[in-house]
Amino acid sequence: MPKETQELLKLAACIGNIFNLKTLAIINNQSISAITDQLWPALKIGLVFDNFYDNVNYSENTSLLENYFYIFLHDRIQQAAYSLIPEVKRKETHLRIGKLLLENNSDSQQTESLFTIANQLNLGSDLLTDSQEQETLAKLNLEAGQKAKEANAYELANDYLELAHKCLLKFCWYTQYELTIQIYLETTESNYFNTNFDRAKQLAERGYLYANTNFEQAKFLKETIKINLAEGDFDSTLENGQQALEILGISLVNFPPETISASELVNLPVMTNSSIILAMEILNLIYAPACFAESAIALPFSTQCWIYLASMEILFSAHMLMPFMAILLPGNY
C-alpha cells in the first residue's frame, strides 16, 4: 500500500471509525479528488468502505463528496492505523487536527462539526499554552455540553462540561467572569443530573462564593436546593430556599396578600422579571418540603399554606408556574 495512503489512514484513524472527505481534505491540506485517489488502494483491499462510489462520479462531482464518508471495516483496523502514530506524537497530531478544523470552518460549519473539533482539541489540550486557545476550547466544550444536555445525553454532557471547567484559567473569576459563571452553573447542574452530588455541591458553593450579583447567588442556591431534595435533606432545602428568596428581596409571611380574581389572573401580562421567575421556581421546589419538614422554619401547612411574595410584581404578570401559585395563594380562582 502506498506510503501516502498509510499516512492518510493514520489521520483518518485520529478522527474515528467514520470519517468524511471534507475533514480529511482540510487536515491533510489537499483537494477532495486527491484524497479520494489516495484512499482508493485502501478501499480496493477492503480496509475501508464508502457510501458513494457506486453512485457518484467523484472526478466530476467533488462538491457533492465533501460530506460523504468512509468507514473502517473494523474497529481493530482503525486501532491498528492509529497505533502507527508514535505515542509521543498523538497529542500533537490531535491538536493540529483540531486547530485546522477550527480555522477552516465557518461559524455555522463549526456548529455542525462541534463535537469533532472539541474532541480533537481535548485530546491535545495538555499541549495548549496560549490562554486565548484555552478559553476557546472552554467555550467549545461548554457548547458541546449544552447540546449534549439538550439531547438528554447527561453523562456525555457532564464529560464536556468538566473539560470546559478544566480549561478555565487560574484566575478565571477575575479574568473570565461571565464564561466562568456559565460553566460553573452548567457543570453544577450536569453533576446533579448524574447524581454526583458531592461534586455538584462543591461547584455550587464555590460559585455562590464568587458570584457578583444576588441573582447569580440565588441561581447557585437553587442548584443546591435541588441537590438537598435529591438527598432527602428537607431542613437544608428550606434553609437554602429561605436564603435564596431573601437574596432576591422576597419574604415569606403567614398572612394572606391581597386577593386577585380569576378574570384578573387570566389577563395578566407575560412575566419577564427574571428575579421573580427564579423566585417562583424556588418556591416550587420548597413547597413540598415546607409541608413535611420538621424544621423550625418549615411553613405551616394545614388547610392552607399562605405564601406571600413581598414583591407584588408576582400578582401583575403570568408565568408557567402561575397555576401552581394559584393553589398556594389565597383568592377567588
For 97-140, the pLDDT digits (tens) are 999 999 987 766 667 789 999 999 999 999 999 999 999 999 99
Report domain extents, the chain.
1-54+63-85, 87-212, 228-316
What's residue 266's pLDDT?
Answer: 61
Q: Between 280 and 87, where is the model more confident?
A: 87
- pLDDT value at 300 more than 70: no
Q: Can you tell me which residue has the cell 401580562?
A: 269
Evaluate the CA torsion angle 150, 201, 214, 329 in order and state its sign. positive
Candidates 3.30.110, 1.10.3470, 3.30.70, 1.25.40; CATH matching 87-212: 1.25.40
pLDDT in tens, 30-87: 998 899 999 999 999 999 998 765 544 544 555 556 668 899 999 999 999 999 999 9
| CA dist., res. 173 & res. 168, Å (int) | 9
- pLDDT value at 309 more than 90: no
Residue 267 DSSP code: T
Question: pLDDT > 70: what percent of the chain?
Answer: 76
Domain 1-54+63-85 has CATH 1.10.3470: no
Residue 58 DSSP code: T
Is-contact 184 206, C-beta < 8 A? Answer: yes
- pLDDT value at 316 more than 50: no
| CA dist., res. 125 & res. 74, Å (int) | 28
Q: Between 312 and 55, where is the model more confident?
A: 55
Over the chain, what is the mean pLDDT?
Answer: 83
**pTM of the shown model:** 0.84
The confidence band for 303, taking pLDDT boundaries of 50, 70 and 90, is very low
Best CA proximity match to 210, nearest among 237, 245, 175, 238: 175
- Residues 130, 10, 75: CA angle, nearest 5 degrees: 115
Is-contact 280 321, C-beta < 8 A? Answer: yes
* Residues 6+ positions from 153 with CB-CB distance below 8 Å: none
| CA dist., res. 152 & res. 266, Å (int) | 34
pLDDT in tens, 148-192: 999 999 999 999 999 999 999 999 999 999 999 999 999 999 999
Is-contact 301 288, C-beta < 8 A? Answer: no
The confidence band for 93, taking pLDDT boundaries of 50, 70 and 90, is very high
